[in-house]
Copies of this chain bind each other. A is one copy, B any other.
Amino acid sequence: MTKKIINHIEKEFGVTFRHVETLTEAFTHSSYANDHRDKAIKNLERLEFLGDAVIELTVSEYLYKKFPNHPEGQLTRMRASIVRQESLASLAKEHRLHEFVRLGKGEEQMNGRSRTSLLCDLFEAFVGAVFVDQGMDTVVDILQKVLFPKIDSGAFSHGMDYKTALQELLQKNGVVTIQYKIVDKRGPDHEREFVVEVYVEGDSFGRGVGRSKKRAEQAAAKQALDMLEEANES
């Protein structure tokens, strides 16, 4: 198994790991480690913790340099749409990382191998492993091949507007009433925070907080999207 992962990573990314055990760790799901608890096998979670922060910085730096005139708010929204679960999960799938991850029996039976959250964790863990074993420059090299061209081609620009995304998702099957209501305003004038709830056909689907009504609405729409995506997975 390990041999196959090594070969795949070499072919796919041109990276040869110094410490194979780091790579193996990144391709071991907690369910597998649990199934073999007597052997104290390390799972991918610690590398995922690290990889998440590595991706966040790498993408931030790329956006910061590429868009020298974008204000912070725009950069933050772009970053959010790039590092969200679905985007990272599709990278894992495109590069067939999921074919090599070791899963527990139960997880395998429940189709864990194609679950969005698992795919995303796997991609983050892989990046964490590259960072630990090879360093930041190699991470940037890889993302330059697999992620940055997508940013350049505008693949994430549509994802920036969560309200539109939510509307599109819900109205695929016909017209649906979506309403945003301010449910709270808090804090002093100069640090005002808005709390907005989004209702779909009268039912609350999410809630968001922001410095402006617009931002709070976006946050609420995002929460609704996340909720719908999770519901879709299970």
Q: Which residue of B lies closest to A37 (CB)?
A: B173
- CB-defined contacts of A141 to chain B, threshold 8 Å: none
In the complex, A18 Cα to B222 Cα: how many Å?
36
- Flag if A172 contacts B64 (CB, 8 Å): no
- Flag if B56 contacts A172 (CB, 8 Å): no
| Copies in the assembly, this chain | 2
- Flag if A72 contacts B56 (CB, 8 Å): no
B-contacting 9-mer, from A45-53, A142-150, A153-161: A45-53
Mark each residue of chain A from 213 to 234: 1 if its CB lies under 8 Å from any CB of chain B, else 0: 0000000000000000000100
Contact A76-B61, Cβ < 8 Å, known A34-B173, A56-B56: no
- CB-defined contacts of A112 to chain B, threshold 8 Å: 190
- Flag if B53 contacts A72 (CB, 8 Å): no
- CB-defined contacts of A106 to chain B, threshold 8 Å: 190
Contact A191-B54, Cβ < 8 Å, known A72-B45, A75-B49: no
Q: Which residue of B lies closest to A60 (CB)?
A: B53
- CB-defined contacts of A53 to chain B, threshold 8 Å: 53, 56-57, 60-61
Q: Which residue of B lies closest to A61 (CB)?
A: B50
In the complex, A48 Cα to B57 Cα: how many Å?
12
The answer to whether A110 has its CB under 8 Å from any CB of chain B is yes
Contact A46-B30, Cβ < 8 Å, known A37-B173, A173-B37, A232-B40: no
The answer to whether A71 has its CB under 8 Å from any CB of chain B is yes
The answer to whether A138 has its CB under 8 Å from any CB of chain B is no
Closest 6 CB pairs of A and B: A45-B72, A53-B60, A53-B57, A57-B57, A49-B72, A34-B173
Which chain A residues have a beta carbon within 8 Å of chain B's beta carbons? 30, 34, 37, 40, 45-46, 48-50, 52-54, 56-57, 60-61, 64, 70-72, 75-76, 79, 106-107, 110, 112, 115, 117, 132, 136, 172-174, 190-191, 232
